[in-house]
């Protein structure tokens, strides 16, 4: 006899392990010759997007550019400003986008600065982080988006996997601590002071890059209302 049963469960932020546990807790048991097959129509895990902003330029980019792009992709994101973070916002999450503007000749933005000593004590092993930074490549051409470099160095020391490296081409500056090598920054470089007209397109391309790298590194992100189809066959 051949019996085919199809079940759809709408979930958010659930993994196949969670689903297995859930089925077990309900005494739903598969007794067929092979294992049940889970088809995830989409991805797992929510992105946490944290940022600081002194003169609201980063805030503007997050709220009016990055979040709408992620929303269009139906990516599940929770955004928060650095000043409001608690330990729970770091622990128990695996995928982060962090935004930092650079201030006062290569310093972190004020909320990041205040949070930084604690930030350095966090364990980022197993976590994946994409960085973006705002700066002024002409006014501060020896410190262009240095804040991205400061965070990248701390994150690498804490075991993080960094994704979203961005080409250096298209910028004009002398020095940057955010350079990963001769041709790439550790993360997305935005310049609302001199190249605001490029911000939208840069963000569009960078989000695509980040999402594809998350998939490739085994950290797919959750889309809103993920549908899980479980098909059991005998």
Ligand X SMILES: Cc1cc2nc3c(=O)[nH]c(=O)nc-3n(C[C@H](O)[C@H](O)[C@H](O)COP(=O)(O)O)c2cc1C
Nearest distance from C-beta of residue 196 to ligand X, angstroms: 9
Residue 57 binds ligand X, judged by CB under 6 A: yes
Nearest distance from C-beta of residue 88 to ligand X, angstroms: 25
Q: How far apart are CA 129 and CA 163, in angstroms?
A: 6
Residue 140 binds ligand X, judged by CB under 6 A: yes
Q: How far apart are CA 50 and CA 114, in angstroms?
A: 14
Residue 3 binds ligand X, judged by CB under 6 A: no
Strands 107-108 vs 95-103: parallel, antiparallel or unpaired: antiparallel
Among 56, 91, 212, 225, binds ligand X (CB under 6 A): 56
Taking Cα atoms as reference points, which of 55, 52, 65 lies closest to residue 199?
65
Both tokens of 132, joined, read 């973006």
Q: Is 128 left (phi over 0), alpha (psi -120 to 50) or beta?
A: beta
Q: Please give the residues from 154 up to 213 whose contact with ligand X meets the rule CB under 6 A.
A: 192-193
Residue closer to ligand X (CB basis): 44 or 136: 136
Do 2 and 211 form a contact (C-beta atoms < 8 A)? no
Residue 149 binds ligand X, judged by CB under 6 A: no
Among 44, 94, 111, 136, binds ligand X (CB under 6 A): 136
Considering only the stretches 124-132, 135-143, 158-166, 224-232, report the one whose residues sit in contact with ligand X under the rule CB under 6 A.
135-143
| Helices assigned H by DSSP within 124-179 | 146-157
Residue 109 binds ligand X, judged by CB under 6 A: yes
Q: How far apart are CA 18 and CA 83, in angstroms?
A: 32
- Burial bucket for residue 164 (CB in 10 Å: 0-12, 13-18, 19+): buried
Among 55, 174, 208, 217, binds ligand X (CB under 6 A): 55
Residue closer to ligand X (CB basis): 72 or 175: 175
Both tokens of 164, joined, read 């979203």
Nearest distance from C-beta of residue 50 to ligand X, angstroms: 13
Among 2, 33, 34, 105, binds ligand X (CB under 6 A): 105
Residue closer to ligand X (CB basis): 165 or 214: 165
Q: Which residues contact ligand X by CB under 6 A? A: 53-58, 101-106, 109, 134-136, 140, 143-146, 192-193
């Amino acid at each position: 006899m051949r019996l085919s049963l199809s079940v759809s469960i709408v979930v958010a932020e659930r993994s196949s392990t969670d689903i297995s546990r859930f089925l077990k807790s309900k005494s739903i048991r598969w007794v067929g010759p092979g294992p049940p097959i889970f088809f995830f129509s989409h991805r797992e895990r929510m992105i946490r997007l944290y940022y600081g902003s002194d003169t609201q330029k980063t805030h503007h980019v997050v709220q009016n550019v990055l979040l709408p792009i992620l929303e269009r992709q139906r990516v599940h994101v929770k955004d928060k400003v650095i000043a409001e973070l608690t330990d729970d916002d770091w622990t128990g999450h695996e995928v982060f986008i962090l935004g930092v503007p650079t201030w006062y000749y290569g310093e972190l933005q004020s909320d990041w600065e205040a949070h930084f000593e604690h930030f350095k004590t966090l364990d980022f092993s197993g976590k994946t982080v994409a960085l973006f930074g705002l700066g002024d490549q002409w006014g501060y051409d020896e410190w262009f988006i240095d804040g991205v470099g400061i965070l990248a160095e701390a994150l690498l020391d804490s075991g993080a996997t960094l994704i979203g490296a961005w080409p250096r081409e298209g910028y004009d500056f002398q020095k940057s601590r955010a350079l990963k090598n001769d041709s790439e920054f550790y993360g997305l470089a935005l310049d609302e002071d001199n190249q605001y007209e490029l911000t939208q397109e840069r963000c569009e391309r960078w989000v695509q890059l980040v999402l594809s790298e998350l998939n490739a590194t085994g950290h797919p992100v959750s889309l809103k209302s993920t549908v899980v189809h479980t098909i059991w066959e005998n």
